[in-house]
Amino acid sequence: MNIETLLSRYFEGETSCEEERELRRYFTEEEVPEALQNYRPLFAYLTNEADKAAEAHRPTPTDDKPLTRRRPHIKLYRIAGIAAAVALLISIGSEVWQATRTRPHGYVIIDGKEYTDMKLVQAQAQAALEEVQLSPEEINRIFPFE
């Protein structure tokens, strides 16, 4: 294709990437006629920018390393999150187990210990009532009936 036609299509925005590469190649490598010399700096600049862009997208040696090696804190956050979830599940499970644990029908707690023997419970209750029992004189003194 004629370079002038290609230039016209380029400035109209109708060229493909391959045609634009051909224009850059033409103005940077070949002898350019005097009439087209003023386009040479433009395409030299575009070639330079295209090379910079290609260099920027080229993978670096650090890109070959796995993500966990480059950012170890991500692994730490994941482990901490899993540990917190396990601790939460254990805590909830313990509470559910305590709530659903079956207790005997009749029980009493004396000095922090649980007793289910009814005779022992009755004996303890009788002893406690005897300690607080009042004589008739004490009742009259507290509640005088005059």
**Residue 136 vs residues 17, 140, 141, 145: alpha-carbon distances, Å:** 115, 6, 9, 12
Nearest to 45 by CA among 30, 64, 28, 59: 28
Q: Using the predicted structure, report yes or no on whether residue 33 has a pLDDT greater than 70.
A: yes
Segment 5-26 mean pLDDT: 86
Q: Using the predicted structure, report yes or no on whether residue 99 has a pLDDT greater than 80.
A: no
Type of residue at 87 = A
- 111 DSSP 8-state letter: T
pTM (2 decimals)? 0.38
Inter-residue contact 89 to 83 (CB < 8 Å):
no
Q: Using the predicted structure, report yes or no on whether residue 35 has a pLDDT greater than 70.
A: yes
Mean residue pLDDT of the chain comes to 80
What's the token pair of residue 88?
A: 């939460």
Residue 109, helix vs strand vs coil = strand
Q: What is the pLDDT of residue 110?
A: 80
Domain boundaries, the chain: 3-56, 67-100, 108-142
User: pLDDT, tens digit, for every residue of 46-93?
Assistant: 888 888 877 777 766 665 555 555 677 788 888 999 999 999 999 999
Q: What is the pLDDT of residue 62?
A: 60
Distance of CA 138 to the CA centre of its chain: 71
Nearest to 23 by CA among 1, 49, 3: 3
